[in-house]
Structure 1
């Protein structure tokens, strides 16, 4: 009787093992703790991957004494320091997309002379970058960027940035043409265009000398914008900068001089006592890092 029970137990265990092996060989998913453990390991491995959907993520942050864009201080003449950041996903085809954010401060009519509605800018962007086109050494980078002012949505607009550059020994020459695709700062039927050249030169000991010379001009088929009442619209301006940068302890440190040709009383956007301070000359120091 005991022998019969023992043999019966052996047959039962053997059948269970064979059945389990057949179940595994049949391609059926594991269940219970074993399944959970494998899924957990697979999820951790997925999080540890450098590539996601054929692309990689990168981030960039910058801390600066001012936020200057085309010669214009975006922090009301450096009243507050500037903090910027961006996260970008770049596909191996050259397509990329991301999100940018920064603090800012515009002149306005509150008790401190600031615009209380605008204290930040952020927005999504999507673009395409390609290198050495047709073996010419010419590179192209194009991007659509949506400006979003969270406190003043009527000022939002869309701009397309276009850059072409080429290296000539230690010198890099970059050309830019950037038009707005919607109304600039929400001003009806006002389109902006920026053309610029951005040269840079590699100096000894890891330093880089770089600069920019640009011209911002407008097409206006909307309302009359002769704000100073002199009988003509004075909307365009020239802007330039020059600076030196170097990698220091893994951070890029940049010291730069900015200026424009906008004169007080001679410009319908920035020629007034309450806002001309944001387009006059200035020095800016910044520290940035890419990850």
Structure 2
């Protein structure tokens, strides 16, 4: 009888201990994880003293403003879909004053590798030719809807009314550590600037981000970044062979060129101030043949594709100061 009593007491103690062990575990149970919200929106704007695109000014070395809006859908933490629209003020030879970009793609991430693959459309509304003033021509051309005469700008250049085009692209960034990132880009268009010439651009990039302790508790960040790229071209259609004081019956074989830039940036909250040097190895004559610049001057910049000799500074060295802001709904508006 005493053994039965001791056994019952022991069982009660074990059972009671088990219940006691369960109670705090139930009390400390973690709350359910918040639901994953896959949607996000990025948007921002910028003002700059010069809008440079692959080493060539798009704003005649004058100030430009820009803005963008980009909805995003995160399938998971490593895969994002996105579409976007952006706009920049420009100054083109056909008198187009704005560039409107429509783009979309996918951004997969694999460990330290971040990819970006998509399609980018460049639209240039409002184009005309020499302010619709007829200043000379060769019969048989077609500019701005005029089917019997090619319209020349004052410097002998020509440019189509519509120079809109698209590119397919791929980019990859590799994060070495918290400070260093390197990358590569590739862009291809079958009809660059609607010139009839294909275009291919490839570049290598690098970025160093300073530790957050450099400026103490001020919240200011700093980075240094650079890019080296090469732009290849095919031959334009015959339209562009009617300018520059001569006729290229088969179009102009645009000159390939190298471009590079290096700069330093400072960040504070959603703001970035980027100070950058940009340049190319295009001479003034080949630059004129490629850009159809409306303010080309002189007669000494003679090249095989620019026999008229007018020269343009649109492809030369330039310093760019850009102040921008960038926000996302998930990070900045909650």
What's the TM-score, normalizing by structure 1? 0.70
* 1:89–1:249 distance in 2 versus 1, CA, 3 Å: closer
In the aligned structure 2, how far is the partner of 1:256 from the partner of 1:247?
Answer: 15
* 1:266–1:148 distance in 2 versus 1, CA, 3 Å: closer
Pick one of 169, 173, 181 that aligns with 1:165: 173
In the aligned structure 1, how far is the partner of 2:239 from the partner of 2:65?
Answer: 35
Write the mapping of 1:192-207 to structure 2, written as runs, cut at 5 A.
192-204=199-211, 205=214, 206-207=221-222
1:149 aligns with 2:124: yes
Q: Where does residue 74 of structure 2 map in the other structure?
A: 92
CA contact (8 A) 1:262 1:270 kept: no
TM-fit CA distance, 1:131 = 1.3
In the aligned structure 1, how far is the partner of 2:59 from the partner of 2:84?
Answer: 23
What's the TM-score, normalizing by structure 2? 0.62
Stretches of structure 2 that go unaligned for 5 or more consecutive residues are 1-35, 128-160, 215-220, 298-309, 328-334
- Post-superposition, which runs of at least 4 consecutive aligned residues in structure 1 deviate over 4 A? 224-232
* 1:187–1:167 distance in 2 versus 1, CA, 3 Å: same
Q: Where does residue 179 of structure 1 map in the other structure?
A: 188
In the aligned structure 2, how far is the partner of 1:61 from the partner of 1:234?
Answer: 33
- SS of alignment partner, residue 105 of structure 1: coil
TM-fit CA distance, 1:248 = 3.3
1:64 aligns with 2:84: no
Write the mapping of 1:1-291 to structure 2, written as runs, cut at 5 A.
54-78=38-62, 81-93=63-75, 94-106=80-92, 108=93, 115-116=94-95, 118-132=96-110, 135=111, 137-152=112-127, 154-169=162-177, 170-181=179-190, 183-188=191-196, 190-204=197-211, 205=214, 206-220=221-235, 222-223=237-238, 233-248=253-268, 250-267=270-287, 268-270=289-291, 273=297, 276-291=312-327
TM-fit CA distance, 1:196 = 0.4
In the aligned structure 1, how far is the partner of 2:311 from the partner of 2:122?
Answer: 21
Alignment length, in residue pairs?
225
Stretches of structure 1 that go unaligned for 5 or more consecutive residues are 1-49, 109-114
In the aligned structure 1, how far is the partner of 2:232 from the partner of 2:247?
Answer: 19
Q: Deviations 1:43-99 (Å, cap 9, x if unpaired)?
A: xxxxxxx96xx4211202111111100001111122xx1111110110012110111
Q: Where does residue 11 of structure 1 map in the other structure?
A: none
Tell me the C-alpha RMSD between the 2 structures: 2.5
- SS of alignment partner, residue 65 of structure 2: strand
CA contact (8 A) 1:264 1:270 kept: no
In the aligned structure 1, how far is the partner of 2:43 from the partner of 2:181?
Answer: 24
